[in-house]
Amino acid sequence: MLARRIENGHDDIPGWCRRALTLDVIERLGAHGCFWLVFFSTDGVVVHASGSMPGSSRSLSEIVGMGLGDLPSTPAGDERREVFRKILSSPGRDVLVIDVWHGLEVWWFCGVECDGEDHCGVLAIGFRPSEEQQIPGETIVHRLRHVSDPGLLRGLSIGELEVLRLLAMGLSREQMAHEVHRTVKAVERRRTMLGRKLGMENSHMLSLVGLRAGLHRLNEQELEDFWRVNCGGPHRNAPPR
C-alpha cells in the first residue's frame, strides 16, 4: 500500500508523520482503494506528500515546500487557510474537508498528529468516496464553498444542476417532475438539452456526472450555493446558459 511504501522508502519523514503511517488512521477512516497523503507543518507548509490526484499524472511530491501562505488572498485561499486553523484547533478530532476536483468529489480526512516529543503537524488523507460512503461519527465536516475545479459543472444553470442531482439520486422522470414542479415533458426536454450540451447520450451517463461530483449528497440550498459560488450564477431565476 501507498503508506507502507512511504514508510519504508523515506528516512527523512518527520517522526510525527511516521507515527501516522501505521495505517490505523487510514483504515479507521475507510479510505479504501486509491488514496493520497499530504503532511503539513503547523504553519501550513507541506513537508511530505505522496500519490496523485484523480486524473492527474503529476505526483503530489511536487508541492513539498509550498504552503497555504502561498495561496493568493482570494475567497478560495482564505477559506482553505481558515479550515486549516480549525483543524489545528481540534486536536484529537477528525475533520473531513469535502472538495470537487475536475468535477469529481474528493474527501480529505485531516487530523493533528504528534510524536512522542510533542512535534506535531497535520495529516491529510485524500480519496474518492464511494456513492454510499458514510461519514464516521464524531467527525467535523467542512464542505468547501469555493471548490478547486467544478469541471463539467462549470457554466451550467441551476436548473441543469438540479437535473443532474435528481438523476444522481435515482429518481424517475415522474418523480423529477414532481420535485421541480414541472411537467414530465418539460423535464425530459431539459434532460435532453443537457445531454447535448455535455455530449452525453443517455440519462445513465448524466447520472454518473452527478454521482461523481457528489451532487446526490447536497440539499436544494447547498446545490444553489454551489452553483452561485462555482458556476457563475447571480441568482436562482437567471436564464439557462
Check residue 133 and give its pLDDT.
85
Check residue 172 and give its pLDDT.
85
Question: Which long-range contacts link 107-116 to residues 24+ away (Cβ below 8 Å)?
Answer: 107/133, 109/25, 109/29, 109/31, 109/139, 111/25, 111/87, 112/87, 112/88, 113/16, 113/17, 113/19, 113/20, 113/25, 114/16, 114/19, 115/14, 115/15, 115/16, 115/18, 115/19, 116/15
**What CATH number does the domain located at 2-143 have?**
3.30.450.20
How many whole angstroms separate alpha carbon 183 and alpha carbon 192? 14
Check residue 150 and give its pLDDT.
96
Q: Which fold has domain 152-230?
A: Arc Repressor Mutant, subunit A (1.10.10)
From residue 46, give the alpha-carbon distance in Å to each of 1, 10, 13, 40, 99.
21, 15, 12, 4, 19
| Torsional class of 102: left (φ above 0), alpha (ψ -120 to 50), beta (otherwise) | left
Closest CA to 109 of 173, 183, 26: 26
Q: How many Cβ atoms from other residues are within 10 Å of residue 26's Cβ?
A: 21
Check residue 234 and give its pLDDT.
46
Q: How many residues does the chain have?
A: 241
Kindly state the DSSP code that residue 232 receives in the 8-state scheme.
-
Check residue 239 and give its pLDDT.
31
How many whole angstroms separate alpha carbon 211 and alpha carbon 162? 12
Beta bridge partners of 141: 96
From residue 30, give the alpha-carbon distance in Å to each of 94, 108, 131, 134.
12, 12, 13, 9
Per domain, the residue ranges of the chain are: 2-143, 152-230
Q: For every one of its 241 residues, what pLDDT tens digit does the chain have, with 9 covering 90 and above?
A: 444 444 444 556 777 777 766 666 666 655 555 688 899 999 999 998 888 888 888 889 899 999 999 988 999 999 999 999 999 999 888 899 999 999 999 999 998 988 766 788 999 989 999 888 888 788 899 999 999 999 999 999 999 999 999 999 998 888 888 888 788 888 888 888 999 999 998 899 999 999 999 999 999 999 999 999 999 754 333 333 3
The three cell numbers locating residue 65: 515546500
Please state the pTM of the whole predicted model. 0.85
